Structure formats: structure tokens, C-alpha cells
């Protein structure tokens, strides 16, 4: 069975058949198949739930360069799920995935950097990762970035940019973004509101043109 056929079985809910297709490839060292086997063990699809076994497969996949698994390994280290909690290892793996362009890892890494877990606190770096993820359409990052740009946690206030990101997050269902958006709108001048609307339109256009890589499809994600 090919990897594509295994994925089709997975989509059909035939998890045992999917496992039978992916497992030989995973054992032979294919990082994508290893990631899927890890997912099956994590969520008990076709096999009993075994988080430690899931972590083992994710780690093998992450070591092979799979960014989705790198994010999952980092998150599981951060949570102490399937392995001993280790924030330094969490940050290391999340950074590897983030540097490959994974928006979930960017968000997870920003959380650790902002809280000083496994790495020194660095709000400038945290904002940078939140912004990178936000620009890829990651709505929790949009909400968090907007909140910080309201002048919170030592970040310099930027009402225009805060408005843009909070509005985008709210449109994607991040209801808590509205709580930060309303007071910032009240503080904005007419000129700032005009600039914010122009930037919002430009940002929405950029996001509409962006597309997530096909390898992101279907794979469950973890967060610390």
C-alpha cells in the first residue's frame, strides 16, 4: 500500500488499514509515515491510546526533519506528555519547526519565549514569532499579537497595528480579541482609524493570496 492509499484509508476512518500502510514505511525511516503512526497512537485510532509510543514516533520523525512532528515533540516536552517535561528541549524543537515555517510552532515558541520557559524572557523575540505566525493566518497569534500591541507586557503600544490584528483574529472567531479591540478603538484618532482600515484591507488581501503547504493537511497538532 502506498502512503497516499494509507492516507485515503485514514480519511475513510479505516485506521487499522492506514496503520498497516504507514507502519512499514515508518519502520524503514520515512519521516511523514512516522508522523502519522505517532498520530494514530496519540489519538487511539486503530490502536489503543499510547502517548509514550506516540512521542517515540514523533521524535523519530522530528529527527528526520518533519516540521509537524518537531512541533508536536516540542509541545509534548512542554506539557510533559508522553515524556518528562523539559522546557529547554521544548524550545529547541519548536524553534526547529518554526524556522521551517510552521505557524503552530511559531506560536508555541513565542509562548515559551514570552514566559521564559526553557529560554530567557525576550518579548521582542516573542513578538517577532507571533507576527510571523499571524502573517501566515494563525488566528491565535493574531489575537495575542494584537493584545501585546495594545501596550501590554512591556511591548510598545501601536494602536493601528493592534487594531489590524485584533480585527482579523475576531473575524476568525477569536472572541476574546474583541475585549482588547473595543478599548483600543476608543483611543484611536480619526487619522489612525483611516490608516488602520487601509492596513486591514491590505493585510486581508495578502492573507487571501497566501496558501498553507499541502503537508499541513490533516495532521493533528499539539500546543504547550
Q: Which domains does the chain have, with CATH numbers?
A: 1-64 (1.25.40), 139-209 (no CATH)
pLDDT tier, 222 (very low <50, low <70, confident <90, very high otherwise) = low
Q: What is the pLDDT of residue 111?
A: 96
pLDDT at residue 161 greater than cutoff 80: yes
**Conformational region of residue 7, where left means phi above 0, alpha means psi within -120 to 50, and beta covers everything else:** alpha
pLDDT tier, 102 (very low <50, low <70, confident <90, very high otherwise) = very high
CA 189, chain centre distance (Å):
34
Decide: helix, strand or coil at residue 5. helix
Per-residue DSSP letters for 63-95? HTT-HHHHHHHHHHHHHT-SS---HHHHHHHHH
Beta-sheet strands, E only, within the chain: none
- Supply the pTM of this predicted model: 0.87
Pair 119, 152: CB distance under 8 Å? no
pLDDT tier, 171 (very low <50, low <70, confident <90, very high otherwise) = confident
Cell of 149: 500591541
CA 2, 5, 11, 13 dihedral sign is: negative
Cell of 86: 523539559
Q: What is the pLDDT of residue 3?
A: 85
* Distance of alpha carbon 79 from alpha carbon 86, whole angstroms: 8
Angle value at C-alpha 8, between 217 and 22, nearest 5 degrees: 85
pLDDT at residue 220 greater than cutoff 60: no
Q: What is the mean predicted confidence (pLDDT) over 1-8?
A: 89
Q: What is the mean predicted confidence (pLDDT) over 106-123?
A: 96
pLDDT in tens, 183-216: 889 899 999 999 999 999 998 888 887 654 434 4
Amino acid at each position: 500500500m502506498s502512503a497516499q492509499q494509507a492516507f485515503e484509508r485514514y480519511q475513510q476512518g479505516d485506521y487499522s488499514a492506514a496503520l498497516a500502510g504507514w507502519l512499514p514505511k515508518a519502520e524503514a525511516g520515512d519521516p511523514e509515515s512516522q508522523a502519522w503512526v505517532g498520530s494514530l497512537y496519540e489519538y487511539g485510532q486503530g490502536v489503543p491510546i499510547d502517548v509514550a509510543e506516540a512521542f517515540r514516533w514523533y521524535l523519530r520523525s522530528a529527527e528526520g526533519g518533519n516540521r509537524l512532528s518537531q512541533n508536536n515533540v516540542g509541545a509534548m516536552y512542554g506539557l510533559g506528555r508522553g515524556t518528562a517535561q523539559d522546557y529547554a528541549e521544548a524550545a529547541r524543537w519548536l524553534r526547529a519547526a518554526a524556522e521551517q515555517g510552521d505557524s503552530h510552532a511559531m506560536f508555541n515558541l513565542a509562548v515559551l519565549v514570552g514566559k521564559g520557559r526553557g529560554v530567557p524572557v525576550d518579548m521582542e523575540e516573542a513578538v517577532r514569532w507571533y507576527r510571523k505566525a499571524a502573517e501566515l493566518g494563525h488566528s491565535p497569534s493574531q489575537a495575542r499579537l494584537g493584545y501585546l500591541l495594545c501596550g501590554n507586557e512591556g511591548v510598545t503600544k501601536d494602536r493601528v497595528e493592534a487594531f489590524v490584528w485584533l480585527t482579523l483574529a475576531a473575524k476568525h472567531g477569536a472572541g476574546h480579541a474583541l475585549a482588547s479591540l473595543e478599548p483600543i478603538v476608543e483611543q484611536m484618532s480619526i487619522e489612525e482609524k483611516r490608516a488602520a482600515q487601509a492596513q486591514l484591507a491590505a493585510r486581508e488581501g495578502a492573507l487571501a493570496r497566501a496558501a498553507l503547504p499541502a503537508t499541513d493537511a490533516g495532521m493533528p497538532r499539539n500546543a504547550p
